[in-house]
Amino acid sequence: MMEPMTSPQITLYGIPNCDTVKKARAWFTAQALSHDFHDFKKQGVPPQAMDRWTAAVNWQKLLNRSGTTWHKLDAPTQNAVVDASTASALMTAQPSLIKRPVVELQWGSHRLMTVGYVPEQWEAWAQGNATQ
């Protein structure tokens, strides 16, 4: 059983002009859930974050192949993405390729994350029913 959340640290990673990120930020604000925003454009991908994220979710879920940034890549660059290592290197170099938002919740020794807009999961976190 997970310990109740008393003061979780929530970090929302993304790009400020992304509609899904805007929607997620508005959701957290409307729920009065304190959260930090990490801007990929200004701050890049934090060290060790990509390793954490690809360990928590499949790299294919994290890589946004439907966005403009992916479609602007040349075919050899796209075709070179074949595993977590090559995907991680490309997403670190071009954070716009990361599906957004990435939301990490940490309290105590527990760390959970989501990719995309998933308010049902965030609501469960807020109610202390944190599961991945």
Q: Residue 116, Cβ neighbours under 10 Å: how many?
A: 15
Which amino acid is present at 10?
I
In this structure, the dihedral spanned by the alpha carbons of residues 100, 101, 105 and 110, taken in order and rounded to 10 degrees, is -10
Task: Check if 18 is active-site.
Answer: yes
Q: Round to whole Å and give the CA distance between 20 and 89.
A: 24
The three-state secondary structure class of 40 is: helix
Looking only at the bridges linking them, the beta strands covering 110-115 and 102-107 are antiparallel
Tokens 């070179």 belong to 80
Q: Which of 11, 15, 18, 52 is catalytic?
A: 18
- The candidate with the shortest Cα–Cα distance to 36, out of 102, 116, 132, 126, is 102
- Just list the catalytic residues: 18
